């Protein structure tokens, strides 16, 4: 039977029972204020030089990463765990992009993956998936600390985060999405396109400046007899 009060129309809540659950059917109380839409804050390292790292690779050898030293862009991706479904898909997408996409070849982008897994587990992962780029072991969490990469999914797992670093060693953008593992290679591809467009735009004025100089030099040469 519905509950109501004729003498107090301002009575605020009507409840109905379904088994052991009580369900709110209606309310005459003033609606709660609408919370503002969440905003995505940029990572605090965006626009800053990328930290250098030295970590063991899948062979147990020290791999030193100094973004910008080779004057090529770098895609540094942190992932939760080697061998899991999403992390395997992500790692293989980067592998395939390096082998198949001309953009990755011409930019000579450096791809590096990092997780907390041991060297032994990284070696098995690299060999099984035939990965062609460094996979590093961050067992002590040094790299995650340096790049401010934390936990995800309410602290249940390490976050999946990709940093795009330009050829000068500056972090241009960061993608932080643990569930959408397929977005990370696309994110890097988008940024490679963008920096290539920037490079072409920079190179064009320089080429145009050379043309008048060459024409002036030709005009100053004496004509042959």
User: If you search the block for the tokens 């910008």, which residue do you land on?
Assistant: 68
Domain range for 60 is 53-198
Averaged pLDDT, 136-145 = 97
In a domain, 218, yes or no: no
* Of 149, 120, 123, 150, the residue nearest 135 (C-alpha): 123
User: What pLDDT is attached to residue 199?
Assistant: 87
More confident site: 198 or 4: 198
In a domain, 220, yes or no: no
Residues identified as active-site: 87
* Of 105, 104, 117, 119, the residue nearest 63 (C-alpha): 119
DSSP 25: E
In a domain, 15, yes or no: no
% helix, strand, coil for the chain, step of 5? 35, 25, 45
Averaged pLDDT, 46-57 = 97
**Band of residue 160 on the pLDDT scale cut at 50, 70, 90:** very high
Residue 134 contacts residue 57 (beta carbons within 8 Å): yes
User: What pLDDT is attached to residue 216?
Assistant: 53
Residue 52 contacts residue 65 (beta carbons within 8 Å): yes
CA-CA-CA-CA torsion sign (143, 149, 152, 154): positive
**How many domains does the chain fold into?**
1
In a domain, 152, yes or no: yes
Which residue blocks in the chain are alpha helix, DSSP H?
85-100, 102-107, 119-129, 142-146, 183-219
User: What pLDDT is attached to residue 19?
Assistant: 43
In a domain, 190, yes or no: yes
Rounded Cα distance, 186 and 178, in Å: 14
Q: Work out the percent of the chain whose per-residue pLDDT is above 90.
A: 65
Tokens, residue 67: 């973004």
User: If you search the block for the tokens 């293989």, which residue do you land on?
Assistant: 92
Averaged pLDDT, 74-93 = 98
**Band of residue 60 on the pLDDT scale cut at 50, 70, 90:** very high
Whether residue 15 has pLDDT greater than 80: no
User: What pLDDT is attached to residue 209?
Assistant: 57
In a domain, 59, yes or no: yes
In a domain, 98, yes or no: yes
Whether residue 225 has pLDDT greater than 90: no
CATH number at residue 193: 3.40.30.10
In a domain, 100, yes or no: yes
At 176-199, the pLDDT tens digits run 999 999 999 999 999 999 999 998
């Amino acid at each position: 039977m519905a509950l109501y009060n004729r003498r107090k129309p301002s009575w605020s809540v009507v409840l109905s029972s379904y088994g052991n659950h009580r369900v709110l059917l209606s309310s005459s109380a003033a609606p709660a204020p609408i919370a503002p839409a969440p905003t995505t804050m940029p990572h605090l390292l965006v626009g800053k030089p990328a930290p250098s790292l030295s970590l063991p690779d899948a062979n147990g050898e020290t791999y030193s990463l100094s973004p910008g030293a080779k004057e090529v862009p770098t895609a540094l991706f942190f992932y939760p765990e080697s061998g899991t479904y999403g992390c395997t898909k992500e790692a293989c997408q980067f592998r395939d992009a390096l082998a198949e996409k001309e953009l990755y070849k011409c930019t000579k982008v450096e791809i590096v993956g990092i997780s907390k897994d041991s060297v032994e587990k990284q070696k098995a992962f690299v060999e099984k998936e035939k990965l062609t780029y460094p996979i590093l072991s961050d067992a002590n969490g040094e790299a995650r600390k340096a790049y401010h990469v934390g936990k995800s999914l309410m602290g249940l797992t390490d976050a999946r985060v990709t940093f795009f670093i330009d050829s000068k060693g500056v972090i241009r953008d960061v993608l932080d999405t643990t569930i959408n593992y397929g977005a990370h290679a696309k994110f890097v591809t988008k940024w490679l396109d963008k920096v290539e467009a920037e490079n072409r735009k920079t190179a064009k004025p320089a080429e145009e400046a050379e043309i008048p100089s060459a024409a002036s030099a030709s005009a100053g040469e004496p004509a042959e007899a």
